[in-house]
């Protein structure tokens, strides 16, 4: 099973993917997380990617594709995986199609939401520097300010969650990524979900759709 989570920044792809990975027992592969790990470790990938990420632009396809192919080659992906943040444009989607296009069990869940919701979510997001768990200062506050409920790690605000960069990321989403909705609809692989409900409701809708195959 390959589950692709599609949607604008802040739609809840990462939040949902973490829970879905546990429930469906397949790994969560986030290109954003992989890139941030490379930035943190100061690898050559990371040094190059950082220039684009901090401006809210897409990292060049070649770099992201190579990184993703490496990750998909690891043994834990043999029964499938959840993709969060990939594909981001038609060229990336065509690469996936070449690899898995004809396979059964490729589902694309489109998390629909609006710009005001995205801005509220991203500007209040806090992430654990240790385990990567997501929180929100109002929507999903940690029990203790600035501390991860799961591992006790320190919470931080992503550098691309500043207002100007959020707006740029939304522009990039509209220009580069939103056409994937049509792309996958034409392939009859797209499930639409409202991402504005409580996370537990969104999760159960995704699980229901994936398991029953309804659109």
Indicate the DSSP class of residue 9: T
Euclidean distance between the first and final Cα of the chain, in Å? 17
Residue 215 known to be catalytic: no
80 near ligand AP5, judged by CB under 6 A: no
- 13, 50, 121, 126: which one is catalytic? 13
Instruction: Give the strand pairing for 134-136 and 125-128.
Output: antiparallel
Residue 169 known to be catalytic: yes
Residue 125 known to be catalytic: yes
Q: Nearest-5° angle of CA 119, CA 30, CA 133? A: 65
Strand intervals (E) in the chain: 2-6, 28-30, 81-84, 106-112, 125-128, 134-136, 155-156, 190-194
CB of 207 to ligand AP5, least distance (A): 15
Tokens of 49: 């990617």
Q: Which one among 45, 81, 110, 135 touches ligand AP5, defined by CB under 6 A?
A: 135
- 18, 55, 158, 167: which one is catalytic? 158
Phi–psi pair at 195, nearest 5 degrees: -90, 5
Residue whose beta carbon is closest to ligand AP5: 32
Longest CA–CA span in the chain (Å) reads: 47
Q: Evaluate whether 64 touches 31 at the Cβ level (below 8 Å).
A: yes
Q: Which one among 2, 10, 183, 191 touches ligand AP5, defined by CB under 6 A?
A: 10
Residue 102 known to be catalytic: no
In the region spanning residues 36 to 55, those forming contacts with ligand AP5, defined by CB under 6 A, are 52-53
Q: Is 6 exposed, middle or buried (0-12, 13-18, 19+ CB in 10 A)?
A: buried
- 36, 121, 126, 169: which one is catalytic? 169
Q: Which one among 28, 50, 88, 107 touches ligand AP5, defined by CB under 6 A?
A: 88
Piece in contact with ligand AP5 (CB under 6 A), picked from 10-18, 99-107, 141-149, 186-194: 10-18
In the complex, the residues that contact ligand AP5 under the rule CB under 6 A are: 7, 9-15, 31-32, 35, 52-53, 56-59, 64, 85-86, 88, 92, 121-122, 125, 134-136, 139-140, 160, 169, 198-199, 202
For the annotated catalytic residues, the residue numbers are 13, 88, 125, 158, 169
């Amino acid at each position: 099973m390959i589950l692709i989570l599609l949607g604008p920044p802040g739609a809840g792809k990462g939040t949902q993917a973490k829970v879905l990975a546990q429930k469906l027992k397949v790994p969560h592969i986030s290109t954003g997380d992989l890139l941030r790990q490379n930035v943190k470790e100061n690898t050559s990938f990371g040094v190059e990617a950082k220039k684009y990420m901090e401006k809210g632009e897409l990292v060049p396809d070649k770099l992201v594709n190579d990184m993703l192919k490496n990750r998909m080659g690891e043994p834990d992906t043999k029964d499938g995986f959840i993709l969060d943040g990939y594909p981001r444009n038609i060229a990336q989607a065509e690469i996936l199609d070449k690899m898995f296009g004809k396979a059964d069990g490729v589902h694309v869940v489109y998390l629909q939401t609006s710009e005001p919701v995205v801005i509220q979510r991203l500007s209040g997001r806090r992430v654990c520097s240790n385990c990567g768990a997501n929180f929100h200062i109002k929507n999903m506050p940690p029990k203790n300010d600035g501390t991860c409920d799961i591992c006790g790690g320190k919470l931080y605000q992503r550098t691309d969650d500043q207002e100007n960069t959020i707006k740029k990321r939304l522009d990039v989403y509209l220009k580069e990524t939103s056409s994937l909705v049509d792309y996958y609809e034409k392939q009859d692989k797209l499930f639409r979900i409202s991402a504005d409900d409580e996370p537990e409701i969104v999760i159960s809708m995704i699980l229901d759709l994936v398991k029953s195959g309804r659109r």
